[in-house]
Structure 1
Amino acid sequence: MKRLIAASALVLAAAPLGAQTGEAMVAAKNPQGILAALEGAGYDAELTEDGTGDPMILTRLSGWSTRIYFYGCDETSHDGCDALQFSAGFDRKEPWTAEEALALARKYRFSSTFLDDEGDPYIEWDVITGDGIPAPVFLASVLSFSDAIDVARREAFAGETVE
């Protein structure tokens, strides 16, 4: 929770500064810039493509495999994306219930939670970047999603050994 408060303070402090100082901006329309921001913050990340040809970044947050999908991309060129979606899933031994997924979703206002066909929970977090957001704001979102993964992992595997 302390990290989330610190990240929130960073967001509030950084947003006005970015506009005034020409601070580095990141945007989904520049996947290399998103990759560079992650790597600059110490994350190992790989830029690849999803099943439709849109950019996708593979990384680890809170020690967990995470995908960053790019949305709003041109259907033909796969350029000009305007949003990102962080996504992480948890492979449980036993399926989770819809009630458990909803309880987790209520804890984070920016995240959504769903169950795959096997009842494994996934959390997702959308970030609209438009023409660009300050890099510290983006990284605060990454940190917040990382915190959400910690909570989701604890709840998803309560009483169960992680696979």
Structure 2
Amino acid sequence: MTFEADEIRTDRLLLRRVRGDDLPAAVEILSDPETNRFNPSGAPSAAEAGEMLAKWQADWERDGIGYWAVTLPESGAVIGFGGLRFHFAGEEPVLNLFYRFSPDHWGRGYAPEMARAAIDLADRGCTDRPVVIMTDLPNEPSQRVARKLGFAVTGELQFSDGPMLVWRR
């Protein structure tokens, strides 16, 4: 499988491989209680957000694909993180489509724009794993994005911190 997705431009965004210098943005966005409003485990600590970023960097090294830093090209500001990574939905190998943005950038269509680029990448480079989105049950904003992308609920999985809906195209 070849993805060649270190950097992708959309109409308004630059999606690039995560780097170590993304740590301040990762801590700010991933540890924000508002971005974790529906997370049953709550917001991760700064150290846990750093561990997430390190895992995403390892995904890139190991798999050649992972979550991107979502930036505004004109300023280079990181406004979110998202994209695809290898994951399991129960026992099934899948590509998990993830999106988390700074609350200052909600409601502007950035999540669907980034997600469409990720879906296009998956369609070109990895047809053996379905793209899925997993959302916490009460997370209606993420579910709206999933529906906007043409995904529908196909099941529910139990994780250590609670049940998640599984969405597929």
Q: TM-score, normalised by structure 2?
A: 0.30
Larger strand fraction of residues: 2
Instruction: Give the structure with higher Rg (CA).
Output: 1
TM-score by length of 1: 0.31
Q: Relative contact order (C-alpha < 8 Å, sep 6+): which is higher?
A: 1
